[in-house]
Amino acid sequence: MAEIVSLADGVAAVVHDGDTLVMEGFTHLIPFAAAHEVIRQGRRDLTLVRMTPDLIYDQMIGMGCASRLVFSWGGNPGVGSLHRFRDAVENAWPLPLALEEHSHAGMANRYLAGASGMPFAVLRGYVGTDLMAQTENIKPITCPFTGEVLTAVPALTPDATIIHAQRADVRGNVQMWGIIGVQKEAVLAAKRSLITVEEIVDRLQPQPQEVILPSFATDYIAVAPGGSHPSYAQGYSLRDNAFYTEWDAISRERDTFLRWMEENVLRGGPAA
């Protein structure tokens, strides 16, 4: 059964130095509040896994939390580069960042395999691209029935997965809706999980196209209202597209980035 805890206690319980950490949310429901708590707790040497690193991993990479990144698209959507990610890859600042790079389809299938308890997933993908030569984690596999050569990618089984959802009930069942991304698979693939929510209610009211994570399938739940800002929680908030645009200037230089993190994250404010 999921235990309802504070954000700080939840993060401390699931994230440790050296862990492989997943924080998913496909544009929508990105768990920023939890990421800021990971930064405040000073975690180091993490392998960060996420389809779209987005601002959340740009911040964690820039603050020196990560030594490795597993991902499929590392930009600021519609705006441009993730400058802290680029600075780490191009200039090893603040630390060298090893990359393992996939396509979205490959990453989605790796989560699917992890959630299904399978060692790998099979897809039609990557063939003919230069991605295959850059990692051991993309290999050809022959279909035993047809002889067709397909592509295999290993399951993702992170030490910890953190996601943000709209709400949970008092028994710890989690409900989310809107763009649901790959969060269900990412939670089920993980050894430990923390779900931050906008609110905890007595009873969950059904929503169109909802996804429910039953209480027995997760470990910790913490209330973090606005915890996906500048991403959003459908039904609670709107994507702060202005902030995504402003991040380009904030993050471009190391000193403006560090000052912003000091003022908005390290000193504990929920403003970010």
215 touches 2 (CB < 8 A): yes
d(CA 46, CA 250): 24
For the CB of residue 128, give the shortest distance to other proteins in the complex, in Å. 4
Binding site for other proteins (CB under 8 A): 26-28, 51-52, 71-75, 77-79, 81-82, 85-86, 89-90, 101-105, 108-109, 111-112, 123-131, 134, 148-149, 178-182, 184-185, 209, 211, 232, 234, 238-242, 244-245
d(CA 47, CA 35): 14
Instruction: Give me the phi and psi of 252, to 5 degrees please.
Output: -65, -40
Closer of 4 and 79 to other proteins (Cβ): 79
d(CA 99, CA 78): 23
For the CB of residue 217, give the shortest distance to other proteins in the complex, in Å. 16
Identify any residues that bridge with 151 across adjacent strands, giving them in sequence order. Answer: 123, 140
CA atoms within 13 A on the CB side of 81: 13
Closer of 205 and 209 to other proteins (Cβ): 209
Closer of 5 and 233 to other proteins (Cβ): 233
Q: What is the chain's alpha carbon radius of gyration, rounded to the nearest angstrom?
A: 18
Closer of 167 and 184 to other proteins (Cβ): 184
For the CB of residue 111, give the shortest distance to other proteins in the complex, in Å. 7
For the CB of residue 56, give the shortest distance to other proteins in the complex, in Å. 13
